[in-house]
Amino acid sequence: MNLKTVLTVDTINPHLKGTTKEEIINELLDILVAANKIPDRTAAYNAIMDREQKMSTGMKHGIAIPHGKSPTIQDLVACIGVSDKPVDFDSLDNEPCRIFIMTLSPVEKTGPHLQFLAEISLLFKSPEKRHEILAAKSGEELLRILSE
């Protein structure tokens, strides 16, 4: 799976303003709504929050991957946001997060969801790539970095 097939400039925000987990999740959902990627914001919010209640999606190295499955989603959708300030996201390493990748997928399709998460995790293993992402000034620059 190529990230460029899922991400576009209008699904990237290099300057998230939220200061809490819930504010970040809402800001990411707003990106998907504005890009006409999700038909039902409430259903998407509930899917993401249900998943967060089971276990936080805050990973390591300042990265969180809030995700969920909803019957209102036909094909995998995703967005990426970078926060100007670290946000507590109940991460595995207890460190705050600045890079957020949200993905929503259909309930009945697991392949694209797992493939996307695998590609994202490989991408973010590199400290250099994480640094470049944090330094990006625009959605276009962020998309270029993610596509390299």
* Ordered per-residue pLDDT tens for the chain, 148 residues: 566 778 899 999 999 999 999 999 999 999 999 999 999 999 999 999 999 999 888 888 899 999 999 999 998 999 999 999 999 999 989 999 999 999 999 988 777 777 887 777 776 788 998 999 999 999 999 999 888 7
Q: How far apart are CA 46 and CA 32, in angstroms?
A: 15
Q: pTM of the prediction?
A: 0.92
**Burial of 116 from C-beta contacts in 10 A (0-12 / 13-18 / 19+):** buried
| pLDDT value at residue 99 | 95
- Would strands 97-105 and 77-87 be described as parallel, antiparallel, or unpaired? antiparallel
- The CATH number of whichever domain residue 52 belongs to comes to 3.40.930.10
Give the type of residue at 112: P
Domain enclosing residue 7, as ranges: 3-147
What is the number of domains present in the chain?
A: 1
Tokens encoding 123:
């991408």
Q: How far apart are CA 13 and CA 81, in angstroms?
A: 5
Q: How far apart are CA 112 and CA 106, in angstroms?
A: 10
